[in-house]
Amino acid sequence: MSTPTGPARVVIDLDLPGPTISRHLYGHFAEHLGRCIYGGFWVGEDSPLPHTNGIRSDVVEALKVLRIPNLRWPGGCFADDYHWRDGIGPREQRPRMVNSHWGDVVEDNSFGTHEFMDLCELLGADPYVSGNVGSGTVREMSEWIEYLTRGDDSPMASLRRGNGRDEPWKVPYWGLGNEAWGCGGNLRGDAFADLARQYATYVRDHGDNRVYRIAAGANADDYAWTESLMKALGCLDNDIPPVFQAVSFHYYTMSGDWQNKGDATAFDTEEYYRTITQAYRVEEMLTRHSTVMDRRDPKKRIGLVLDEWGTWWNVEEGTNPGFLYQQNTLRDALVASLHFDAFHRHADRLVMANIAQTVNVLQAMILTDPASGALVLTPTYHVFEMNTGHHDASSLTAHVLDAGTHENVPLLSASASTTGDTALISLSNLDADESRSVVLDLRGRTVESHTARLLTAGSLQAHNSPTAPEAVRPVAFDGVTAHPRGLTVDLPAHSYLTVSLDLSN
């Protein structure tokens, strides 16, 4: 480990705003998997828990605090087994299906299109619908977007009205398949690229609804897949609209491998640093996927979307292995903060990102206890909440100097943004054991005042539970003081900090 004797320094030019950090980089993902939908969002209209038409009220209220910008649904791998007509009409008449990917359980389709759109309206979130390319048809996908967004008396609009919704919805985001290299069809890149062009053609804009079509992209560092999709778009130097508007990729962080991903709470310091090393890889992938895209699209007409990311651990003992339920510790929160710093640096190309997943699955915001009905906010939830000031703000370059390293991995991560006469700085001390003094070298504008909030705990393994719901939570922090160069911060070990600035010219 390399630990400089002096303070670290973060240099920020407050008067040099960069690309806008889209709020959609803070997007979410809800799949029909485990207890994410059923027992998470959806409790049904007969539930004793407070709800709105079957949608759990306290979950909605907690997520509204995060101002979640979009919600991806119905999958994931489930999307390419999902046939939307099975999830409309009277619930008691909807056909059942087998959720073969996730637990081999029977799905009764009680949560379908109307329920999802109701959920998005309650959350104030834009719907991001993933269409079925793997086992569906072009016609099926074309009719779904018509059902959702057409306002006249077309066949699908009439069917929607017959199911109780008169006005069309707005659906701005549409996924063309999911993981087509694996559970979405086991296709090769060039073969899927042709399918993406075909399906995108039939995801039509109806009325004034304009769809942003996202082609299912690469598995982590498969840059050849991104090249296949970009090549399929042809020339992007003219004014002809591209047939799809974005490509995606997926990347998960773990301390082990796919056979043994590591434990969510029982990990040591060595495993922690392996996790941080793997989390840092997202920066390389964002850079290299962007480079592939830049060669064919220097004007950045096509967006990059990371619509599945987060930690993936072995499931909690005694739970269904197919339900992917895991606890969420301070380590997960630091993985999230590191990702967001990378997202902010790539705001010129990265247009959306979706944490996997919102409730009760993988790196969730919320855990619900099936026995007591208790709702628990995770450490990752708090990072999302502390970062809401970055939504749609202008990015600021944060130069991190003298950070110290662990096996060449930087131990300090930072990013910043500005909106009008305010700025928000995010700092993560990734050192497991040592606190760090950090000088915020603030240039170009005058800092009139500041406030700070800190997220940490006594150990990296600390987590929230129904019996200890606030073991990890943000608190006001007074360890930020004036310095001749701007501000100085005494940053505790394994901690995440946000500093809000009021500025003048």
Residues with a known catalytic role: 179, 308
What stretches of 297-432 show up as alpha helix (H) in DSSP? 330-345, 379-386
Q: What's the rounded Cα separation, in Å, for the pair 358 and 30? A: 6
Q: What's the rounded Cα separation, in Å, for the pair 418 and 386? A: 15
Residues 6+ apart with CB under 8 A from 459: 330, 494
Residue 169: count other Cβ atoms within 10 Å of its Cβ: 18
| Residue corresponding to tokens 């944490």 | 355
Which residues in 289-434 belong to E strands, given as ranges?
303-311, 350-356, 366-368, 375-377, 393-396, 398-401, 405-406, 409-410, 412-419, 422-429
CA 212 to chain centre: 17
Closest CA to 331 of 375, 383, 374, 284: 383
| Residue corresponding to tokens 């099926």 | 140
CB 168 within 8 A of CB 156: no
Q: What's the rounded Cα separation, in Å, for the pair 241 and 238? A: 8
Letter for the amino acid at 435? S
Q: What's the rounded Cα separation, in Å, for the pair 303 and 297? A: 10
Cα angle 474-476-478, degrees, rounded to a multiple of 5: 135
Residue 260: count other Cβ atoms within 10 Å of its Cβ: 11
